[in-house]
C-alpha cells in the first residue's frame, strides 16, 4: 500500500527534511506542499491524504489552519487523516491531543524523530473511505470504482474515462475538475491526459510515451515530466 501525505505551512528546510526522509522509503507519495492559509482545508479535503504534517505557530493568524479546525474535520469528513503537528514548543501538546492531533514533533526535525512518528502512523493507518466516483449523464448516474479507471482523456469540455474492461464513460465536465478531485494516484501527465499510475506497465522517455495495462499508449508532455520522473522513482519501474 502507498500512503499519500500532505505538508501544510512548512518552512523550506523542514519540508525538504520530510520529503528526503519519506522519499527514501518505498510506500510514501507526496501530494503537495501548501501554505497555511484560508484555503488549506479545502485543498486538504480535495487531496484526501492519509497523513498530514501540520506546521503550527503560536503566532498563527486567524486565516490559518488552527487546532480547532482539525477538530471540526471530524464533523464532515468520513475519514480524517493522521495529523502530525510540528511546532517549536511542547506547550500545545495537550491542546493538540484534545483537537484530534495524532502525533507531535518539535523543530528542528530530524530523521530519527520522523522515523518514530511513521512507525506509529503505520500502526494506525486510516482506511480508504471513498472507492468510487459518481458520473452524471443527464438523469443517468454511473458509479465507477477508482481501481477500474486506467486513464482520463480531455475532449473539449467533456472528459472520457477509459476503463480496464475497454469501455469508455463520458462525463460532461472538463479534465481540470477531475484533476482537483481524484485520489493521489491519478496524475496529470499531459494537457489532455490524467493516468492512474497503478496501471503503468512501461515508460518510454525518448518518445514521451506511457504504456498502461500493457496495450494502451498515452503521451506525456515536458511540462508534466516531473510527474513521470516521480512515478518512476516511487514505483521502482
Confidence of residue 145 (pLDDT cuts 50, 70, 90): very high
pLDDT at 40: 85
Residue 7: which pLDDT band, with cuts at 50, 70 and 90?
very high
Residue ranges and CATH numbers for the domains of the chain are: 3-123 (3.40.50.2300), 132-235 (2.40.50.1020)
Of the listed ranges 46-50, 125-129, 210-214, 223-227, the least confidently predicted one is 125-129
Per-residue buried b or exposed e for 86-104, using 16+ beta carbons within 10 Å of the residue's own CB: bbeeeebeeebeebebbbb
CB atoms inside a 10 Å sphere around CB 210: 25
The string of pLDDT tens digits covering residues 76-116 is 777 789 999 999 888 888 888 888 899 999 999 999 999 99
Amino acid at each position: 500500500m502507498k500512503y499519500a501525505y500532505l505538508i501544510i505551512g512548512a518552512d523550506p528546510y523542514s519540508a525538504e527534511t520530510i520529503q528526503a526522509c519519506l522519499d527514501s522509503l518505498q510506500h510514501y507519495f507526496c501530494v503537495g506542499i501548501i501554505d497555511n492559509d484560508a484555503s488549506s482545508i479545502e485543498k486538504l479535503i480535495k487531496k484526501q491524504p492519509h497523513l498530514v504534517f501540520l506546521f503550527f505557530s503560536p503566532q498563527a493568524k486567524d486565516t490559518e489552519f488552527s487546532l480547532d479546525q482539525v477538530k471540526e474535520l471530524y464533523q464532515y469528513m468520513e475519514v480524517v487523516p493522521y495529523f502530525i503537528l510540528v511546532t517549536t514548543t511542547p506547550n500545545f501538546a495537550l491542546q493538540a491531543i484534545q483537537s484530534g492531533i495524532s502525533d507531535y514533533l518539535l523543530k528542528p526535525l530530524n530523521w530519527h524523530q520522523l522515523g518514530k512518528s511513521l512507525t506509529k502512523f503505520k500502526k494506525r493507518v486510516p482506511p480508504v473511505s471513498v472507492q468510487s466516483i459518481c458520473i452524471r449523464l443527464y438523469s443517468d448516474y454511473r458509479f465507477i470504482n477508482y481501481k477500474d479507471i486506467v486513464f482520463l482523456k480531455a475532449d473539449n469540455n467533456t472528459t472520457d474515462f477509459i476503463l480496464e474492461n475497454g469501455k469508455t464513460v463520458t462525463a460532461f465536465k472538463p479534465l481540470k475538475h477531475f484533476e482537483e478531485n481524484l485520489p493521489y494516484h491519478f496524475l496529470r501527465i499531459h494537457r489532455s491526459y490524467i493516468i492512474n499510475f497503478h496501471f503503468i506497465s512501461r515508460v518510454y522517455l525518448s518518445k514521451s510515451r506511457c504504456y498502461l495495462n500493457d496495450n494502451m499508449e498515452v503521451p506525456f508532455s515536458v511540462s508534466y515530466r516531473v510527474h513521470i520522473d516521480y512515478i518512476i522513482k516511487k514505483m521502482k519501474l
